[in-house]
Structure 1
Amino acid sequence: MKKPQIAEHLGITIPTLNKHYFKNLSVRNAQLAAISEVRGRTLLQLDKAAQGGSVSAMKEIGKIAKQAELECLASDIRKSNSSAKPLGVKAQRKEDAKPDGTWGFLGDAGPSKEVH
């Protein structure tokens, strides 16, 4: 649903909608915040039931926790894959020019033992 439709259903203007309902001016972010709030309420109700001794609530909380853990791991994997961009030609040349603490730039000869 777009902002004009939401404003029309609420009977307010779009600036008023933005001022009172959207901190980030994004419908998508507002939807995600609402979904998170509903999930939080559901978890609280499940937790109350689990503390009361409901085994099915305990199992459901376990499933939700496992799913959340998998989502966190998946986002970590996505982040690590996206950051492995290859260096450009100039950046690679700069990287190759940095000293690495070895005498490799002298070739096979190694450091000279002669005293001048």
Structure 2
Amino acid sequence: MTISNQTDQSWDPAPTLSMVSYCKEMAPNMDLAKVAVLLHLANEPGCTSRYLTEKMDVNQSTISRIVGYLGRGDARSKYGGLGWVSSHPDPEDPRKHRHDLTSAGKAVVIQLLAQPHL
């Protein structure tokens, strides 16, 4: 099955679904949005939460929840985070937060992109 956009280019969802399935093997609560955040952080290290909300077209609370899950954990959850993302205040504006992949997060992205289904 392929989905065509307005320029009549086909998009095959199989690689994307395989990516999510592969990540679910490492972390059961993974979904497409979390995989997208990992890939955005690999492509744009040190990006802000606002950058992620704009690129993914989601609200700030969604990004906070995803970054919490991928990072140190969410205070509302009894489970810790995955440790794949680190967050820190922006040195120029401490109200903003910047996010980076940790070495563990980089290893996950490298493994993900090395999969033959991609």
Q: TM-score range by the shorter chain?
A: under 0.3
Task: Give the structure with the higher percent helix.
Answer: 1
Q: Taking CA–CA contacts closer than 8 Å with sequence separation of 6 or more, which of the two structures ends up with the larger relative contact order? A: 2
- Between structure 1 and structure 2, the one with the greater Rg is 1
Task: Give the structure with the higher percent strand.
Answer: 2
